[in-house]
Amino acid sequence: VLIRIIQSMYCAASQSKNIYSHNYSDLSIEVANRIKEAHPFLDFTIFETVQLNEFINHQIGRNTLFVNTNLSTADYVFDTLQEIYPGQVLLHPSLEIYHQYRQENTIVLSNLISEAPLLKTDTWKVSVEKLLVDLIADPILIDSISEQELPAIFEGLFEKYLVDESKLFRYAKRRHAYDKIINFIADKTTITLRTI
C-alpha cells in the first residue's frame, strides 16, 4: 500500500499503521444525523474531546463536541441544534464564555476552515490531519487539554496512524499554524517528518 507524503511523493505504508478512525459517541452520531437531515448538502466535521483518551494519561471525563461547519451556515446549524439540545450549544464562544457555560456534552459550533482535510466517506468524521492542526491552532481546544499531554497525543497519532503530511501542512498554512506545528513537532516530540 502506498501513501502520499506530499504531491508526487509516495512511500510504502507501514503494515502496523492504519487509517485513523474513532468510535464516536451516540451523541456525536445523533448530532451528525440531525445536521445531515436538516442541511443535506452541508460540509461539516465533528471532533469530540474523548477521542484523545486513547493517547493521554489524564482521561477526559467531560466530553465536548466541536462541530465545524461552512462559514455561512453556522447560524442555521445553531438554530437546528439549539431546538434539540437547548442550553448545550455555543456559537463561536470566547474562552471566557466557553468556561462559563461549559457542561457535559457541550456542543461548540465554529467555522470549517477552507481546505480542511475531509474524509471521502463519513465526511463528518474528523481526519487525523485536521485533528493534529486543530490541537495546535484552536484556542478553545488548546485550553481543553493539558499542554503536557500534547506530545504524547502527537506521537501516538503519528505512530499508530497514517498521516498525509501534504494535507497536514496545507491545512496548517490555512490556519496560520505552519511554523507553530513544525516547531512543536521538532522541539516537543520524537516524530521524524518525511518532508522536512
pLDDT score for 94:
95
pLDDT score for 16:
60
Using CA atoms of 34, 39, 40, 44 in order, give the dihedral in degrees to the nearest 10: -80
C-alpha grid cell, residue 161: 496512524
d(CA 24, CA 3) in angstroms, rounded, equals 25
C-alpha grid cell, residue 23: 468510535
Q: Along the chain (196 residues), what's the average pLDDT of each consecutive run of 10 residues?
A: 63 70 96 96 95 88 94 93 96 95 94 92 95 95 88 95 92 96 96 84
d(CA 34, CA 29) in angstroms, rounded, equals 9
pLDDT score for 5:
57
Beta-carbon contacts of residue 66 (< 8 Å; ≥ 6 apart): 46, 47, 48, 49, 108, 110, 134, 138, 140, 141
User: Helical H runs in 102-144?
Assistant: 128-137, 139-144
Rounded (5°) CA angle 157-159-164? 65
Helix (H) or strand (E) holding 65: strand 64-69
